[in-house]
Amino acid sequence: MAAPLNSPPYDAEHFINRELSLLQFQRRVLAQAADPTVPLLERLRFLCIVSSNLDEFFEIRVSGIREQIRLGSNAASTDGILPTELLAFVSAEVHQILSEQYALLNDDILPALEREGIVFLRRGLWDEAQSAWIYDFFRREVMPVLTPIGLDPAHPFPRVFNKSLNFAVELEGRDAFGRVSNTAIVQAPRVLPRIIRLPDRPGQAPYTFVFLSSVLHTHVDEIFVGMNVHGCYQFRVTRNSDLFVDEEEIKDLRAKLKGELQQRNYGGAVRLEVADNCSEQMADFLLQHFQLDQTDLYTLPGIVNLVRMMQVPDWVDRPDLKYPPLRPGLPKSIGSRCDIFSVLQKRDVLLHHPFQSFAPVIEFLRAGADDPQVVAIKMTVYRTGTDSVLMEHLVRAAQKGKEVTVVLELMARFDEEANISWATRLEEAGAHVIYGIFGFKVHAKLLMLVRREASGNLHRYVHLGTGNYHPRTTRFYTDFGLLTANEQIGEDVAEVFKQITGLGRASPLTHLWQAPFSLQPNVVAAIKNETEIARAGRRGRIIVKINALLDPETIEALYEASCAGVKIDLIVRGPCALRPGVPGLSENIRVRSLVGRFLEHHRIFYFRADGEDRVYLSSADWMPRNFFRRIETAFPILDPQLKRRVIKEGLRCYLLDNTQAWEMQSDGRYRRKTSHRTAYSAQATLLAELAAEG
């Protein structure tokens, strides 16, 4: 099932562009780096996150815009902006973000770090002892692995790896063979550290670092002996990293994907970054070679890859400059040595990560692998990491002869290689590995154990979540997970697995909403139900927390509800195409976004439903791809006590936040929420209420 081919025409004025809205999110992350109340090393980390986010933005989103232009598409998006216009808007906005980012780095964060004894030493400030050590490091560690390439007919421009560090060198003179070349390329091997810590010595700052780029710049003459070096310039190229696999041309998805992954780092260029000392002549030469325009050139006053500084907070032992250590708590219903199956036979268990531990989910799967009464395990895997205790439990369960089925999404962007590796290990252990349904990414988070009880009957125990089965990210992403032995939910989950692994028509589900079949229609129907309630003179109320809101039909349904008098609060972390607060259209809609220590990731749908308080948790954002091109689920919270917890912890806390919240304006810009009341932070409150004592 795909999105309707004959979608009704929408008024472009009703929508904000996805890419421009996503760049507004980068501004909110950048504001965390500028916030003096955030610990200093965490500010540096936020600064690096902006660069990492922009990298992916160019690799996927900008490459998509450029592909539209290449194909000659004049089709405007829902907001009415043409691809050529959008590329210009994106370039202007990113240039402005980068200007603010580097000003913050150079004028604020680096000086503040230096005052704390964490110094990034520039070339002109090296003393004699430091210069000697760096020269020895260059001769010993750097020089042996460099391969300088002088450009001439026998030495064409080398292939440049996506996001790699490179140097363009302007030369004069003849080499040992009498050749004349005025340009050379030096690629920094990936084995070399981009940031080097100098040895401790008296009188030196406790943490003194130099950049590899500074080392190479200083000693570039050693690479081109006898030549005159007129300039040495850092540059970095970002490439199209989206994978394309044609359904009609492949027989083996895993084999095809392996081949595509090898080429990912050499896709078409979409961005050129150079240091601000780069000559105009060299910048033009590089643009011409990579077939880019001036709008694709980003000149930076500093190192061209701030992502490399992301590791620095981990290298520096200064707890006073970081967030306090996280100690996740446990629900009262789960003790450290409890029998998870006995607990679930009595009650559902709700987990709120990262404030509460992910350990019960790991224990749930471990128990399934070790309990002789568990006869089958089924699980969806989207992202799980290269080292995953969950996957090890699945391997062990298969080795023990249990019926293990893993629906493993090979097309999980940037995790394809890790997932292919796990697929191989699982198959070798005897598990059934399914790659889902081509054209529909399996994004639902489902884990089901089938256990034979003392009565002799088989019973299903399931975990459903809003986030990935990735033990590391559960310490940084806010997500809900539900452990339940509810028979009807178990039957629904079993039906979803049957659809994915087998053939046949989809059967109706009792409780779950499922994409691409019932999720979007049920969301729209729930919105329309609130609309009718409001029109009848009763109270209509909708609160939604998601990562992105882009589906036009859903947005139009929200506008209709607003006009009917439904009060709507939308907590949208990232891109939002809806315009709030427009008279006669969205006066009753507020949109806010929260950026803090943890990445807001859970998806929660609340509909008052005349006092029923219907609450769903989901793996899906309100986007066409989630609704129509993915296998997603939304599951209800049926236990009244747990429902109240979700409303309180996942929604009301975030609506009360006046320290990390941003309110969206009707033009798509955001304004930091401020209040004269006592400061209130949702994340800090949840840490205090749910995390373990220190």
> Residues with catalytic annotation?
443
Instruction: Give the pair of three-digit tokens for residue 542.
Output: 């909708």
User: At 362, which helix (H) or strand (E)?
Assistant: helix 359-370
- Give the Cα separation of 689 and 267 in Å (integer): 48
Instruction: Give the pair of three-digit tokens for residue 285.
Output: 């030469």
Contact 507, 622 (CB under 8 A): no
- The DSSP symbol for 295 reads G
Q: CA torsion 53→58→59→65, rounded to 10°?
A: 140
Instruction: Give the pair of three-digit tokens for residue 255.
Output: 């084999």
- Give the Cα separation of 543 and 595 in Å (integer): 18
SS3 assignment, position 236: strand
> In Å, how far from its chain's centre is CA 202?
42
Contact 406, 435 (CB under 8 A): no
Task: Report CA torsion sign: 367, 369, 370, 373.
Answer: positive
Nearest to 408 by CA among 361, 446, 359, 460: 446
Whether omega for the bond prior to residue 516 falls within 30 degrees of 0, making it cis, is yes
- The letter for the amino acid at 168 is A
Contact 351, 483 (CB under 8 A): yes
Beta-bridge partner residues of 197 = 209
Whether omega for the bond prior to residue 636 falls within 30 degrees of 0, making it cis, is no
CB atoms closer than 10 angstroms to residue 442: 25
Instruction: Give the pair of three-digit tokens for residue 382.
Output: 């989207």
- Give the contacts of 415 (CB within 8 A, at least 6 positions apart): 382, 383, 384, 385
- Give the contacts of 596 (CB within 8 A, at least 6 positions apart): 32, 660, 681, 682, 683
DSSP string, 447-467: EEEEEE-TTS-EEEEEEEESS
CB atoms closer than 10 angstroms to residue 226: 9
> In Å, how far from its chain's centre is CA 654?
21
Nearest to 652 by CA among 612, 615, 618, 625: 615
SS3 assignment, position 33: helix
SS3 assignment, position 425: helix
- Give the Cα separation of 228 and 36 in Å (integer): 46
- Give the Cα separation of 587 and 563 in Å (integer): 7
Query: Backbone phi, then psi, for 449, in 5-degree steps?
Result: -110, 135
CB atoms closer than 10 angstroms to residue 119: 19
